[in-house]
Structure 1
Amino acid sequence: MFSTTVNFSRGVVVGAKQESVIGAACALDLTVDAHVHTGFSAGRDAVGVVVSAADRAGLTALTFADQAGPDTTWLNAYADAVRRARHRTEMTLRVAAEVEIVRPDGWLALPADLTQLDALSVAISALPIGDELLDARAIRALLADGALTAELVAEQLIAATVQGLERASRYVPTQLARPLALLAQAGVDDAAVSPALIADLAAACRGTGTVVEISEAWRSPSPRLVALLRDAGVTLVPASDARYAAEVGGWQYLRRV
């Protein structure tokens, strides 16, 4: 466990671009939860219920990161709910949205209006190759047929992630959600992620001010990748990915890594 802390705060505008002021590299503060869900999307509980659970868990900062996309219509109500909750707690509450990279060039399935957001949490649930999005099952099948190699999957995944972070960071501060979790889902050992690929990912994170979430729910990234990213000067933050309020700030995997 790291001993220094990460302090969440709003992005500050620098020229035409927002810069993240979330924290210092190599720091991990377990009183922060950088990714939780609510009943607006992938979660089950209301914003106020999640905040109350986080208060009981002794957290100091919480980022709401419900899954959103081009068809999302509830962002205003979502942001309003978080803002109202700020009046009932001393915690720092941030409004974010989890968005997907959907093309090899890093194109994002963004909501139409980002003005309500303090951050974007960038994820890849399916591998973009050409015009296709390959889920874990499809990747496994192609690996078994020899149409893909583990190294190519890792290379394509990192390349799309790097491009996606560069695009997302043009709008608001960025976080990388459940990094490379798709590899484990597809049965690809993270040894396929070479030091050169990690260096590319780390450079993109540093260059865009992106913080990397260590996901409790997804057990991602692996301890090996956590160590490599930490050594490369990437900022790491705890993220429960909680879908139920009772899961907020509950750390088991994070304490091991």
Structure 2
Amino acid sequence: MGSTEFPQPLEFPQLLEFPQLLGDFHVHSTFSDDAVATLGENIAAAAARGLAELRLVDHVRQSTTWVPEFVAAVAAEAVPPGLIVHTGVEAKILDSAGTLDIPGDLVFGPGGIDTVLIADHQFPGTDGPWSPRATRERLDAGLSTGDAVDLLVGALVSAMARVPFAQLAHCFSILPKIGLSEDDLGDEHLAAWASAAADTGTIIEINEKWSCPGPRAIRAARAAGARLVASTDSHVASDVGRYDRVVALLREAQSS
């Protein structure tokens, strides 16, 4: 494991308040080109932190071919008692119809991955993914905030229907990148989003790195009966299971 610095054990009072902190459902390894932790380092860090669940996740595109290698590598890792390890691949939404950037031969279940993490890395446009800059240009040219939010929420709902029992990765992180915020989401948008998650069994992660979704969305998810989990979106093992922003979001959602 080298000189990896493992996180300190979880604090018991926080666990009593928020049991979600016992898991980290979005952790990257060297299978992603922007991460430095190995699968084994992430597992060891989760065990040292005292986590009960860990989801090992890496980025894919339609052209990705290494998913079977990833699945085999995870299966070959020794998992300490008391820790459950899940797998997943993270893929962006490609368009407003909810098309996902995943390989066509992706295998789920035994011998495959557990789930797909649906990510708003770019804006799901009507004709394909729009970069934040291209989306801002459209907003400046007359695309209304309401229409933009309709496209985003509609794409998320459609994507959840395409891959049941998926997970929403850092949902709504695209909004600040295009000059909007979660305040631009109406109550009806959040209700539709949360109901779709509950109906399809989609997990909603509260993401430490991007500090989203916010308190209103968390409350909507709870009201709809959707499952909420915590994630760090870590790219280095020492970040696994370390939560500050997630705790603040949960507390605000609880107190509002």
After TM superposition, the runs of 4+ consecutive aligned structure 1 residues lying more than 3 A away are: 1-4, 86-90
When residues 62 and 89 of structure 1 are mapped into structure 2, their CA distance, relative to the original with a 3 A threshold, is same
Q: Is the aligned partner of 1:151 residue 2:142?
A: no
Q: Secondary structure at the match of 1:102?
A: coil
Name the counterpart of 2:26: 35
Quote how far apart the aligned CAs of 1:49 are: 0.9
Do structure 1's residue 207 and structure 2's residue 202 form an aligned pair? Answer: no
Distance 2:136 2:79 in 1: 48
CA distance in 1, matches of 2:163, 2:47: 30
Q: Please state whether the residue corresponding to 1:29 is helix, strand or coil.
A: helix
CA RMSD across the alignment: 1.8
Out of 226, 230, 241, the position equivalent to 1:234 is: 226
TM-superposed deviation, 1:69: 1.9
The structural deviation recorded for 1:192 is 1.4
Aligned match for 1:113, one of 106, 121, 130: 106
Query: Which secondary structure state, in structure 1, belongs to the residue aligned with residue 21 of structure 2?
Result: coil
* Contact 2:26 2:54 (C-alpha < 8 Å) held by counterparts: yes
- 209 and 133 in structure 1: CA distance in 2 versus 1, 3 angstrom threshold: same
SS in 1 for 2:46: helix
Which sections of structure 2, spanning at least 5 residues, go unmatched? 1-13, 250-256
**Residue 185 (1) aligns with residue 177 (2):** yes
Pair 1:86–1:118, CA change in 2 (3 A): farther
* Unmatched runs of 5 consecutive residues or more in structure 1: 5-26
> What is the CA distance between 1:210 and its match in structure 2?
0.5
**Is the CA contact (8 Å cut-off) linking 1:198 and 1:228 kept in structure 2?**
yes
Counterparts of 1:5-84 in structure 2, within 5 Å, are: 28-41=19-32, 42-84=34-76
* Code of the aligned partner of 1:114: V
Measure the CA separation in 2 of the matches of 1:250 and 1:185.
25
Tell me the residue number matched to 1:142.
138
Contact 2:88 2:114 (C-alpha < 8 Å) held by counterparts: yes
Alpha-carbon distance between aligned partners in 2 of 1:28 and 1:160, rounded to the nearest angstrom: 30
Return the structure number with greater helix share.
Answer: 2
**Matched residue count:** 231
Paired-residue identity, %: 28
Q: Which residue of 1 aligns with 2:96?
A: 104
TM-score, with structure 1 as normaliser: 0.84
Question: 81-90 or 215-224, which moves further after superposition?
Answer: 81-90
What is the alpha-carbon distance in structure 2 between the residues aligned to residue 175 and residue 215 of structure 1? 12
CA deviation vs aligned residue, 1:4-45 (integer Å, no higher than 9, x gap): 8xxxxxxxxxxxxxxxxxxxxxx7520100111000014211
Amino acid at match of 1:229: A
Amino acid at match of 1:120: V
